[in-house]
Amino acid sequence: MRTYFDYNATTPLRDSVCRSMIDAMGLMGNASSVHSFGREVRKKIESSRQRISNALDVEAKRVIFTSGATESNNLALKNFKGRVIASAIEHDSVIKVRDDIITIPVSADGIIDLECLDKILSDDSKPTLVSVMAANNETGVIQPLTEIIQMAKKYGSYVHSDAVQAIGKLDFPWGALDMVSISGHKLGGPSGIGCLVINPSLPLIPHTKGGGQERSYRAGTENLIGIVGMAEAIEESLKDDWTEAEKLRDTLEDMISEIDPDALIIKKETNRLSNTAVLHMTGVKSETQIMNFDLKGFAVSAGSACSSGKVKTSRVLEAMGFNTEKSGQVIRVSIGPNSAFKEVNEFVKAWQSIYEKCSNSKNIPKNNNRGDNHEFAYGA
C-alpha cells in the first residue's frame, strides 16, 4: 500500500475535473478567431472565468489566466513601479522576483512582524506593494491578512497574496486584496494553469508580450483544457470538509509526541492549515527520512524542495529561528480531506521505526511499538 501525504506539493486530479477536461478536448478552435469554432472556445473560457470569479466572489474582469502561481507572482511583483515588501518566508517566486525587495521578519511561530511592517510603510510615501502569502506552503501557518490589509490601506499601499495553499481551506474575502495568485494543481486541478486576481486600477506591465489575450496582461493562446479544469477544481474545492483532516493531523502529532516529545516544531496553538504537520526527528536528516518513508510506502516532503528535486535547508524555518542542523532534520506531512486514520496509524509506526533505526538520540522509548489495535483518543 502506498499513501500520499504531500498535498501541499500537489493534489490528485479530481474525477469531475478529469471529466470536464475530457469534454473540453472535444472543442476545436482558437479563442481569438472570429468564426463559430473560435467563438465556442471563447464562450467556454469566459464561462470558466465567471465560475472562478463567482467562487472567489470577485468581478470576472479581475481574473487573468496564467500558467500557475509562479507566473502570477511574477506578473504581480516584477514590474510594480514602487517598493515591494514581502515576508521573509514567501515562496521563491516572490522573494527572487526582484533584487530590491524589502523583507519583513517573522516570529518563532512564523507570523509576520506587524510592527516592523507598520514602521516600513510609514517611512516612505512611495507607491508600495505588500506581498504576504495567505498560508505558508512549508508550515501551514496562516498570516493575519485582515490586519495586513488594514495597515496597508492606512498608508495607501496595495496588498498581494500568494493564496495557493489557502483557497478551499480558508474562508476569506479574497476580493479585499488587490491581487491574489492561485494555482490549479493545488486544488485537485491540472498543472500548468493558474490565475492572478488583479485590481484593474493598479497598473501592471505584462512580462509576456505579443498578443492581446487576457486583456493584454498575458499574451499567448489560452490553455482551454487547463482553464476548464481549474474552474471545476475551484468550485469543488469549496465543498471540501477539512474537519476530519484536522482531527487526523492533531492525532498524528499527539501519537508522535508520545514517541518523542521534542518532535514537533510548529506549536499546536499556532493558527495554521488543518492538514499540515511539520515534524522534527532528532539526529536524522530530512533526505534520510524522505527516502526511508518512501521505502515504507509514504510520500512526504522536506521543509523545502528545489526545482531539481533535491532537498535543501529551509530558509522558512531559519527565518523562524531554527538553526541549520535542526531545520535540516524536518519533514512536512500534508494530508488530504479523504485521508484515513489507518493511514495515519501506519505512518506513525513507520515514523517510530525510522526514528529507532536512524536517530542517535538516547531518549528513544523502549518497547513502544504501536499495534493495529492500539487505542488512541482520535478526534478527542
Please tell me whether residues 111 and 124 are part of one structural domain: yes
Please tell me whether residues 214 and 257 are part of one structural domain: no
CATH, residue 333: 3.90.1150.10
Residue 370 has pLDDT above 50, yes or no: no
For the chain, give the secondary structure using H, E and C.
CCEECECCCCCCCCHHHHHHHHHHCCCCCCCCCCCHHHHHHHHHHHHHHHHHHHHHCCCHHHEEEECCHHHHHHHHHCCCCCEEEEECCCCHHHHCCCCCCEEECECCCCCECHHHHHHHHHHCCCCEEEECCCECCCCCEECCHHHHHHHHHHCCCEEEEECCCCCCCCCCCHHHCCEEEEEHHHCCCCCCCEEEECCCCCCCCCCCCCCCCHHHCCCCCCCHHHHHHHHHHHHHHCCCCCHHHHHHHHHHHHHHHHHCCCCECCCCCCCECCCEEEEECCCCCHHHHHHHHHHCCEECEECCECCCCCECCCHHHHHCCCCHHHHCCEEEEECCCCCCHHHHHHHHHHHHHHHHHHCCCCCCCCCCCCCCCCCCCCCC
Please tell me whether residues 247 and 295 are part of one structural domain: yes
Please tell me whether residues 75 and 141 are part of one structural domain: yes
Please tell me whether residues 157 and 257 are part of one structural domain: no
Q: Is residue 369 part of a domain?
A: no
Q: Does the annotation count 306 as an active-site position? A: yes
Please tell me whether residues 88 and 134 are part of one structural domain: yes
CATH, residue 206: 3.40.640.10
Please tell me whether residues 53 and 136 are part of one structural domain: yes
Q: Summarize pLDDT for 175-224 with one digit per residue, the tens.
A: 999 999 999 999 999 999 999 999 998 888 887 888 889 998 999 999 99
pLDDT band at 379 (very low <50, low <70, confident <90, very high): very low
Q: Summarize pLDDT for 150-170 with one digit per residue, the tens.
A: 999 999 999 999 999 999 999
pTM for the predicted model, two decimal places:
0.92
Q: Which domain holds residue 294?
A: 241-358
Options 18, 195, 306, 358, the catalytic residue: 306
Q: Is residue 46 part of a domain?
A: yes
Please tell me whether residues 219 and 258 are part of one structural domain: no
Q: Is residue 245 part of a domain?
A: yes
What's the pLDDT at 165? 97
> What total number of domains does the chain contain?
2
Residue 365 has pLDDT above 60, yes or no: no
What's the pLDDT at 239? 96
Please tell me whether residues 124 and 156 are part of one structural domain: yes
| Rounded mean pLDDT, 59-77 | 97
